[in-house]
Structure 1
Amino acid sequence: MPTALITGASAGIGEAFACLLAEKKLHLVLVARREKRLQSIASEINTRGGSAEILVADLATPEGLTRVQNYILTHPIDLLINNAGFGLYGPTAETNPEKEAEMIRLNVVALTTLTRAALPSMLAKKSGQIIQVGSLASFFPTPYMTGYGATKSFVLHYSEALHREVKGSGVTITALCPGSTKSEFAELTGIRQYRPMTAVEVARQGLLASEQGKSFILPGMNNWLLTFFSRLIPRNWMVAMVARVFRDRS
């Protein structure tokens, strides 16, 4: 039975991935910090005839990241979904620097560490998929979410470059870059969202793009148009527009 490991699987897009993949009869390894929530999701999947186990870990800590890295190294997987991450909203000088460092460790360091753990075995067997969850913010500098946008820009560029490196190997790397999505993200980050998509629809489009071998997917026509038209105006105008949008989203 193919195995998929999903980080940030306790809610939102991660939970949606788990539900969709359970229907495809993959064995699921669900990773997150909240043990009770993971147990509830795994129990529901197993009750419905699926196959799921949990791996409790805080990927922003060395201990948690090493635990999941070692699991991947000793239990080769077929699909890795790097979904865990969070945002930090507010003027940079006023946000918590320790929280920002934690965000960078989770959004960037954990993602690259787990990707590198999974990739060798996938290349050796000439098959495998890795989905990296970026953001619409991957495409813009994001004043008032400065560090978050920078981490998600890394996710997009890293994934696109790696996709090209492994082209023809049987392994696919896909960056999933959703805009506003109905999940805990907005509540935890402290921002308002406009016309959010459902987490299930975002996850479904991510899986389809990965199966089609795409290097990235930007769900939602409005999001796609936004990135397209941003290329037609001077960059400083675009950054000013993003700043205006984000300034009053608390």
Structure 2
Amino acid sequence: MPTAWITGASSGIGEAFAFLLSEKGYHVVLTARREKRLQEIAGRIRDMGGTAESFPADLTQEVDLQRTVEAIQHRTVHLVINNAGFGLYGPVAATDPEQEQSMIRLNVNALVSLTRAALPQMIERNDGGIIQVASTSSFLPTPYMAGYGATKAFVLHYSEALAAELKHSRVRITAVCPGSTQSEFAQKTGIRQHAPMAAREVAERGLRAWERGRPVVVTGWANQLAVCLPRILPRDWMRRLVERVFRNRS
């Protein structure tokens, strides 16, 4: 039975991936901060006939991150879903610098660490892969969410570069770029959403893209249109447009 390791698995897209992969015959390892919530989800998966275990960890903390890295290195993991992340809304000068650093540690540093933990064994087996959850913000300048957008741009570019490096192998890397999604993200970030997509649909489209070897997938036609705008409009127009959209989202 293949094993999938999922971060940010206590809600939203991560939780959706957990159920979806369990239904496809994976043993799922669930990582997030909320131990009780992870145990509830693992229990529901087992009640449905799947196998699951919880691995609680706060990936913004170096001790927990290293513990997770070592756990991945010492077992056979076929698929990693780097979904853990959060956003920060507001003008840069008005947001908490400690929160911003924590966001960067989770969205970027933890993702890179877990990717590097899993890659060597996958390359040696010539099988498996990693799904990185990025964002439509990866493609755009995002005033009022400047740090968040920058972290997700990193995730997209890092993932595309890895996919190119591994194109002659059977190890697949896919960046999933959702827009508004039915999850706890907007509530925790403090922003309004418009027509959010179901987390299950995002997970299904992301997994389908990974299975087909696609390096990038943008979920939803409206999001696909939005991420094409930087190819058409001058950069200063894009900055003004996104600034207007993001200015009053609280």
4+ runs deviating over 3 angstroms: none
Q: Partner amino acid for 2:155?
A: V
Q: What are the Cα deviations for residues 34-63 of structure 1, in whole angstroms up to 9, with x where unaligned?
A: 000000000010111100001010000001
Once residues 227 and 56 of structure 1 are traced to their aligned partners in structure 2, the CA distance between those partners, rounded to angstroms, is 34
State the 1:229 CA deviation. 2.7
Q: What are the Cα deviations for residues 88-131 of structure 1, in whole angstroms up to 9, with x where unaligned?
A: 00000000000000000000000000000000000000001200
SS in structure 2 at match of 1:194: coil
State the 1:230 CA deviation. 2.9
Name 2:111's counterpart in structure 1.
111
Once residues 142 and 244 of structure 2 are traced to their aligned partners in structure 1, the CA distance between those partners, rounded to angstroms, is 10
Q: What are the Cα deviations for residues 142-189 of structure 1, in whole angstroms up to 9, with x where unaligned?
A: 000000000000000000000000111110000000000010000000
Q: Partner amino acid for 2:144?
A: Y
Gaps of at least 5 residues in structure 2 are none
**Is residue 2:190 matched to residue 1:171?**
no
Name 1:249's counterpart in structure 2.
249
**Is residue 2:39 matched to residue 1:12?**
no
Once residues 230 and 124 of structure 2 are traced to their aligned partners in structure 1, the CA distance between those partners, rounded to angstroms, is 40
Name 2:196's counterpart in structure 1.
196
What is the number of equivalent residue pairs in this alignment? 250
State the 1:70 CA deviation. 0.5
Name 1:144's counterpart in structure 2.
144
**Is residue 2:94 matched to residue 1:80?**
no
Q: Partner amino acid for 1:71?
A: A
SS in structure 2 at match of 1:56: coil
SS in structure 2 at match of 1:158: helix
Q: Partner amino acid for 1:136?
A: T
Q: Partner amino acid for 1:219?
A: T
Name 1:27's counterpart in structure 2.
27
State the 1:227 CA deviation. 1.4
Name 1:238's counterpart in structure 2.
238
Q: Partner amino acid for 1:215?
A: P
Identity of matched residues, %: 61
SS in structure 1 at match of 2:80: strand
Once residues 208 and 168 of structure 2 are traced to their aligned partners in structure 1, the CA distance between those partners, rounded to angstroms, is 19
With normalisation by structure 2, the TM-score equals: 0.99
SS in structure 1 at match of 2:232: coil
Once residues 13 and 233 of structure 1 are traced to their aligned partners in structure 2, the CA distance between those partners, rounded to angstroms, is 31
Name 1:124's counterpart in structure 2.
124
Once residues 60 and 24 of structure 1 are traced to their aligned partners in structure 2, the CA distance between those partners, rounded to angstroms, is 30
Gaps of at least 5 residues in structure 1 are none
Once residues 40 and 70 of structure 2 are traced to their aligned partners in structure 1, the CA distance between those partners, rounded to angstroms, is 24
Once residues 163 and 7 of structure 1 are traced to their aligned partners in structure 2, the CA distance between those partners, rounded to angstroms, is 20
Name 1:222's counterpart in structure 2.
222
Once residues 71 and 187 of structure 1 are traced to their aligned partners in structure 2, the CA distance between those partners, rounded to angstroms, is 31
Name 1:95's counterpart in structure 2.
95
Once residues 222 and 76 of structure 2 are traced to their aligned partners in structure 1, the CA distance between those partners, rounded to angstroms, is 38
Once residues 124 and 53 of structure 1 are traced to their aligned partners in structure 2, the CA distance between those partners, rounded to angstroms, is 25
